Amino acid sequence: TCSLLRSPKGFPKLKNDTFLRAARGEETEHTPVWCMRQAGRYLPEFRETRASQDFFATCRSPKLCCELTLQPLRRFPLDAAIIFSDILVVPQALGMEVVMVPGKGPTFTEPLKEVEDLLKLRQKVDVTAELGYVFQAITLTRHSLEGKVPLIGFSGAPWTLMSYMIEGGSSTTMAKAKSWLYRHPEASHRLLRLLADVIIDYLVGQVAAGAQALQLFESHAGHLGPELFQDFALPYIRDIAQTVKSKLKEEALPLVPMIIFAKDAHYALRDLAHAGYEVVGLDWTIRPQEARAQIGKDVTLQGNLDPCALYAPKEKIGELVKKMLESFGTQRYIANLGHGLYPDMNPEHVGAFVEAVHAHSRHINKH
């Protein structure tokens, strides 16, 4: 029921705030759970909805984004929804063309090759003009959720977006993008600053549109070592949290919890714990106890079951979830996968994961 007729304000009252309470470090009866890429190709109804349309055309349709966001919630008792969109809408807003190539993934028709190419990018972006379709999708979905669970908005982080813009798509080494960091540090910072400024306005706009939490995806953090991360990723990650929060205050908008997910950045967990985010998301390659020791008790952790664990039989998924909950503890914790769901996963196994988190965390809390 995603009809565009309702007025943007006067959102329905939130019925399940477990995810928001955990994000803020308040006590919860059960551990909340959601999945990265929960609106995705592993659902037959998703494939059906998407079949007729180009991927980015789908992203530009508030009605379709709303429908795809709601699909997993009709099946599973998830504790949060995340708006269906893509991190590459930000480079599009800067004037770059991105197409989804079947079997290859997102591809930039003209990636950035030389420093001069930065001049082709829009230097001032009106996010409402360029990304208003995402804001409409968020407002529509927030109404259509009818207060069932909170709605998460998101963006890619500057380094991750920069790497796509230079590589022109996915890459195993990120050698082209990293060569900029070594050869053109000033130009790299110019590009990262431009991206950060757009991301800040984009995230504030998402909250104005109705997002109740925000996640920043630094998906390509693992391609950087500690020094490059310190120079080219962390300062912007910090600045985004700080500036988004001060702008939300200025505009009298809700101060929503923010999540940083920097994949494969174990080397930076201490820094990320102090980067201004309420929640630090973890991939599956780190032990929960080690992460907690580095991050301390004042930040909520999110993660980190290996997505491939969902290929295991359902009983085994239950055992893995129980072990994960015992390692993290049930409080100041949001259960998730350590990365997104894969297209060939069985929806019933996703359901088993979600139900195991609820059942085991309730049991642990009682005893």
pLDDT at 224 over 60: yes
pLDDT in tens, 175-191: 999 999 999 999 999 99
333 catalytic residue (yes or no):
no
Is 331 a residue whose pLDDT tops 60? yes
- Which residue, among 276, 130, 278, has the nearest Cα to 205 in the 3D structure? 130
Tens of pLDDT, residue by residue over 24-82, are 999 999 999 999 999 999 999 999 999 888 999 999 999 999 999 999 999 999 999 99
- Cα–Cα distance between 181 and 179 in angstroms, integer? 5
Could you say which of 17, 21, 42, 50 is catalytic? 50
Q: Of all helices (H) and strands (E), which one includes residue 354? A: helix 347-366
Position 7 pLDDT exceeds 70: no
Instruction: Tell me if residue 277 is catalytic.
Output: no
Active site annotation includes 37: yes
pLDDT tens digits, 250-293 = 999 999 999 999 999 999 999 999 999 999 999 999 999 999 99
CB 72 within 8 A of CB 42: no
State the amino acid at position 247 in one-letter form: K
Residues 6 or more apart from 49 whose CB is under 8 A from it?
Answer: 58, 64, 67, 68, 71
pLDDT for position 306: 98
- Sorted by where each begins, the domain ranges of the chain are 39-75+80-281
Packing angle, helices 158-167 and 234-250, rounded to 10: 120
Residues in the chain, how many? 367
Q: Which residues contact 350 (CB under 8 A, 6 or more apart)?
A: 35, 38, 42, 72, 75, 76, 310, 341
Instruction: Identify the pLDDT of residue 4.
Output: 61
Share of the chain above pLDDT 90, in %: 96
> How many Å apart are CA 80 and CA 65, to the nearest integer?
16
Going through the chain in order, the beta strands assigned E by DSSP cover 81-82, 98-101, 105-108, 151-156, 213-218, 258-262, 279-281, 300-305, 333-337
> Could you say which architecture CATH assigns to the domain 39-75+80-281?
Alpha-Beta Barrel (3.20)
Residue among 17, 21, 60, 164 flagged as catalytic: 164
In the set 17, 21, 37, 202, the catalytic residue is 37
Catalytic residue among 6, 24, 75, 86: 86
- Catalytic pick from 6, 24, 41, 362? 41
Does 164 qualify as catalytic in the annotation?
yes
What is the model's pLDDT at position 103?
86
Residue 142 is a catalytic residue: no
